[in-house]
Amino acid sequence: MNHELLEQARRLIGAITRGLSVRRGEGVAEVLSRLAMQDLDEARFREPGPRGLAVLSHLPQSIGETMLLDPGLAAAIAAVEDSLHWVQSSSYTDALLGEGFSDNYGWSHIIGPDGFFPGDDFLLGLLMLGPVRHYRDHYHPAPELYWPLTPGSHWSIDGGPFVEKPQGATIWHPPMALHATKTDATPLLAVWCWTKDVATPARLKA
Strands 203-204 and 105-111: unpaired
Express each pLDDT in 116-159 by its tens digit.
Answer: 999 999 999 999 999 999 999 999 999 999 999 999 999 999 99
Task: Pick the closest to residue 107 from 42, 191, 25, 175 (CA basis).
Answer: 191
Half-sphere exposure of 72 (CA within 13 A, CB side): 11
16-24 average pLDDT score? 96
- Sign for the pseudo-dihedral over CA of 141, 66, 49, 47: negative
- Sign for the pseudo-dihedral over CA of 53, 107, 6, 200: negative
Q: What is the spatial distance between Cα 136 and Cα 150, in angstroms, rounded to a whole number?
A: 19
Express each pLDDT in 33-92 by its tens digit.
Answer: 999 999 999 999 999 999 999 999 999 999 999 999 999 999 999 999 999 999 998 888
C-alpha distances in angstroms, 169 versus 26, 28, 131, 150, 172? Answer: 11, 11, 19, 10, 10
What domains are there in the chain, each with its CATH number? 3-204 (2.60.120.10)
Q: What is the spatial distance between Cα 185 and Cα 164, in angstroms, rounded to a whole number?
A: 13
Model pTM score: 0.95
